[in-house]
Structure formats: C-alpha cells, structure tokens
Amino acid sequence: MSDVFVILPNGAKGGAERVLTGLIQNLHDNGKNCTLIYLSDEQLPGFGFSGKVEVKKGSFLINLIIFLPLRLAKLNKNAIVISSQFYINVWVGFLKNIGICRAKTIARESTRIFIRFRGWRKWMAELGVRMFYKQHNLIVAQTNAMARDISSLSNELHVIHLPNPFEPLKHTNQIDLPKSWYDFPLIVAAGRLIPIKRFDLLIKAFSPISERAKLLILGEGPERTKLEDLILSENLKGKVLLKGEVKNPIAYFDRAACCVVSSELEGFPNVLLEMMYSNGAIVSTLCADGIAKLPGVVKCKPNNVSALEMAINTVLSLSNNELKKNRDEMLKHLGSRTFQKYWENILINAI
C-alpha cells in the first residue's frame, strides 16, 4: 500500500487547501497511510485532519528550500506526493529532476497562472512549467481551459482535466445575525477579502436593492478596510455586514435568498459547490471555465456591476418550484464529484 503525502504551504483556508485536506481525510478514513505536511505554521489549524500532521515552524520559503528536500529524500519510489501551490509544484519537479525525490508526484493546478501572472512573473512561471512540470507523474487541472494553458507549453506534460471533488460540510443550523436582519431576504457571499473576489462590485450591485434585502459577506482578508470604506461611501451601513471567517458557512448558505460568487478570475470557486449543495438560488460570474455548464446557476459576466445586479434580481424573483428544480439539478450534478472517483482517476492516470 502506497503512503500518501500532501504538502501545503500553510493553514490558509482556500479552495485548493479544502480540496487536498478533504482528499487526504477521505483516504485516511478508508485506511490509507496518509501524512499532511505544512511548510509553515501560519494560519493553522486550517481545515483540520485527523491523521498524521507534520508542521514546520518559521519561514515558508526556508522550509521549502531546506526542509522539503530532506523530507522527500526519505520517501521510497512507491510513495505518492500531492501538492497544489504553484511554487511547491515547480520545486518538487526540480527535486525529482536532480534525483532527490524518487516518489510519484501529483501536481494539482489551483489557478490559471498564465492569466493571473503578468510580466516577469508570467515569464518565470512558464519557464518553471517547461523545465520541471514534465517530471511529475501527473498534472491535474481543475478545468479544460487550465489544462489547455499548461499543455500548450510542452507536449511532454501528462495533463488531465479532473473537476474538483465535493464532500459537503457537516450541516449546522447555527447562524449569528443582527436581530433585525431576520426579517429581510439575505444575500450571502463568501471568500477571502482580496481584490480578485470583487466584493467591491458585489457591494455596488447590491446598493440599488438594499432597501429590501441585506448583504452578508463571510471571510477575512487584507481588503477589509477598503470594503468597510466602500460600505460607508455607498450609505450601506447596517445593510452590509463583513462577518469575518466562520467555521462552517453551510447554515448561512441554506438561509440565503441568494448566494453569490462575484469573482473576476478563479481556478474554480469551490465555494460555489458548497452553495449548490445548500441552496437553489445562486448567482455566479463566469470567472472560471466550467461554470457555464453548471445546472441551475444564474450566470453573468465578471467585472460588470449592472450584470451582477440583474442576475441577483433574477434569482430573487424565482418561484419556489423553480428553486426546487434548480436544487434537484444541482444535487444530481454534485453526486458525480466524489473524492473516491477523484482518487480513482488519479491512480488510473498516474500510477
């Protein structure tokens, strides 16, 4: 039985981290010998894992350069190493290239790096992929567009498109809202407060309907102050709430009259799958390849306030029968995205 090692930069609760911790937990629960390695002790405990965890304290960069080669050198050729962060993927490929790492390696791409990066960073990213991604046994792309991006750089790369797996969080009824909010339709979004999520556009799109609804944004990040200033300038104090990070957002998604993904660009927004599991009233920008084919989701162009406002109004006007139909279609779709099927596809293509 092959030992499985998942490498994460830190305990950040992003989409890539949720997929990999979910995968390793599923493998652990099914009897696999699994180890989760954090290359920094920042933002721990992350999503949590009940199996073996190794945490390196201090600088991510130092641990990446010094600790990781020493750790991977101890693994035999039957071990399986999975990573998702781009710099880790490149570095592990380099370590295989010079013979330090003998294990089978799976590089999962978490974003469209050649669109997200610019200038010298894009040039360096392309160089890293051309030189070292070919050492990986398998490169897993979340979307067809991402697979095309990577494959276009070299015909030596073993790339497959494998949609993200999904396993619902444990359902909870615990929500915490201002008392007056329970009398209004609730619009809910979730994610790190960073520019690419475009919560600023969501706030502006919400403004025209703020007299008849409330907007709740779950998550924390460096954009908080900017968003708080925008809320004040739009005269939305008391109508928009930056709730911060919550352990389990499912109850908020379930309570919502409309769930929204407003991002400009994503590898694939895993939070959208959680929303689909919880609710039939969902709006998403076309921020990632694959969203256009999702059943039941009302889609709109990214970076367009008017389009986002129109999409939200469309969802708020749906009948109960339409919402139920949406939800049924969404649950059927999610049923095909199991961690077991995801792992089986990896094994078939990589081992």
- CATH topology match: 4-166+337-350 vs 179-334: yes
Tell me the domain boundaries of the chain.
4-166+337-350, 179-334
Cα gap 47→168, rounded to integer Å: 13
pTM: 0.83
Between the alpha carbon of residue 12 and those of residues 18, 43, 76, 83, 318, the distances in Å are: 9, 6, 29, 14, 36
Pairing of strands 240-244, 186-190: unpaired
Residue 48 φ/ψ region, left for φ over 0, alpha for ψ in the -120 to 50 degree band, beta for the rest:
left
At 1 the pLDDT is 59
Residues 6+ apart with CB under 8 A from 27: 4, 34, 339, 343
Pairing of strands 34-38, 240-244: unpaired
Note whether 215 and 239 are within 8 A (CB).
yes
Q: Which amino acid belongs to residue 135? A: Q
Q: Centre a 10 Å sphere on the Cβ of residue 123 and count the other Cβ atoms it contains.
A: 11
Q: Which amino acid belongs to residue 102? A: R
At 252 the pLDDT is 96
CATH for the stretch 179-334: 3.40.50.2000
Cα gap 280→324, rounded to integer Å: 6
CATH for the stretch 4-166+337-350: 3.40.50.2000
| Tens-digit pLDDT string for the chain (351 aa) | 589 999 999 988 788 888 999 999 999 999 999 999 999 998 877 778 899 999 999 999 999 999 999 999 999 999 999 999 999 999 999 999 999 999 999 999 888 877 878 888 888 988 999 999 999 999 999 989 899 989 998 888 999 999 999 888 777 778 999 999 999 999 999 999 999 999 999 999 999 999 999 999 999 999 999 999 999 999 999 999 999 988 889 999 999 999 999 999 998 999 999 999 999 999 999 999 999 999 999 999 999 999 999 999 999 999 999 999 999 999 999 988 999 999 999 998 876
